[in-house]
Chains A and B, each alone.
Chain A
């Protein structure tokens, strides 16, 4: 489904700034209907990786193969059909939706960009669609600033799913939410995957969350993917000292 090969990105601050290798030769594969969990601490480059894959940032080198096609070689309008098939859900609910638009306007946006339905059917489709995402119809008239974080993430996910994508980057989708809301959103994500067969790249700094939600996992540290493997195997037998340190740290907080 998605193969990332040797992907790299270097940021330069200013003209003479020191170059910073945010993503450094990362390779990973996400199979159809699979959830690949990407663990990393803040500043490790995991969010940059998500943006490189979804072409929100230009990569310096490497390949992102989606269904066998290298996305990084596609330019301009030719990219639009791939945009529909590949989406990203963001971390911060407070800026996930345009604050000056109503929830309904935000949900209409995919229709303005892609030929998904006739004009007259759109609102009916939206109203039917949101039922599956636990969004109350009265929410549609509200502006984003009047909606709670958990609800915003539901709306953002519902909006993405209007496109029927095959792959979604989930960039810390629950890190700003309370645990009980996190559990709800993760359950919703699981249900959506079971129904549509969509693949996820789940980015998070929470090992426990990844362990529960993903089948395959990678650990990112300072721009590099230092270790990857089946989630349970990785927890049972971590090879890298950094991975071991992370797992220990999480375990210690769970001990009494």
Chain B
């Protein structure tokens, strides 16, 4: 049971030619776990999230996405609408603009309950109960507020409550801590952690925030240049990263030394031969320049590197 991607590719046409934003990604996520997809700008992690929700033009996506035994990539738009929100919900990136500014917070959560068939009274009661479980000490007051009257952290919690209201089987959180201060970031962490207690859904956190991923998630998927380069259980992956890119990424965290990796992420239109990471890799050999490595099992996870195979 879970969500699995089989040889997923997402192609975009750009003025300088076709690019592969997601490059043959094969990976699966277990519903009983929280998975963090980490990567930097241009790693394809957000595009991966959008493709699971079927929010990209069908022509751009190839490969297959399965939700349990159903193939999402074979469904039509109407069927996908049934899945979005009800089975896979999204907590969008920007809580400032993802809430309707002219509706009270409570109303926006109630709407989800109404959509699933609850009456007005019942929706109201369930909204207040949900808000309380999401850590609002005075749910009535929060429900009456408009989004602009809420702080950034509170908005993020309301947004998460909206996603959770439909009791989906999966919640995808896209960059939940982008641009947030430390205290609010911690609140977001608490919210997501609480949300896991709220339901049995699988959590997919797409983030560049390594510390959030490490603290919140059970498994980590590392992406670089549209490719999955390493997967593994969070503690092991952070304690002993296998892929040189993961190692470099962790070493560049400020409290772990802030040691820079050499070079830059290549442009999608100008990808190096062989292993995409070889120009920046301290261990690169002749084979890495020639031959692209495959994602192969390693320990409790997998890694895409000739050295580790």
Residues of A near any B CB (own CB < 8 A): 41-42, 148-151, 175, 178-184, 186-187, 205-209, 211-213, 245-246, 249-250, 252-256
Contact = CB atoms under 8 A, between A and B. Distances in A.
Interface residues of B, number: 29
A105 B215 CA distance: 45
B181 A205 contact: yes
Contacts, number: 82
B235 interface: yes
A77 B291 CA distance: 62
A157 B39 CA distance: 26
B183 A179 contact: no
A180 B120 CA distance: 50
3 nearest A-B residue pairs (beta carbon): A183-B252, A178-B40, A208-B254
A178 B258 contact: no
Given A182-B258, A253-B215, 8 more contacts: A148-B264, A178-B40, A180-B249, A182-B252, A186-B260, A212-B258, A249-B182, A256-B214
Interface in B177-232: 179, 181-183, 185-186, 189, 208, 210-212, 214-215
Interface of B: 40-41, 179, 181-183, 185-186, 189, 208, 210-212, 214-215, 235, 248-249, 251-255, 258-261, 264-265
A183 B181 contact: no
Contacts of B181: 41-42, 205
Contacts of A250: 182
A253 B255 CA distance: 11
Contacts of A255: 215
Given A148-B264, A179-B253, A180-B252, A256 B182 contact: no
A187 B248 CA distance: 14
B25 to A, nearest CB: 20
A219 to B, nearest CB: 12
B182 A180 contact: no
A253 B260 contact: no
Nearest to A177: B41
Given A179-B249, A180-B40, A208 B255 contact: yes
Given A41-B181, A205-B181, A253-B212, A212 B255 contact: yes
A184 B263 CA distance: 9
Given A179-B40, A180-B249, A209 B208 contact: no
A256 B186 CA distance: 13
Contact of B208 (A178, A206, A253): A178
A172 B5 CA distance: 38
B215 A209 contact: no
A183 B183 contact: no
Contacts of B212: 253
A189 to B, nearest CB: 11
Contacts of A175: 179
B261 A180 contact: yes
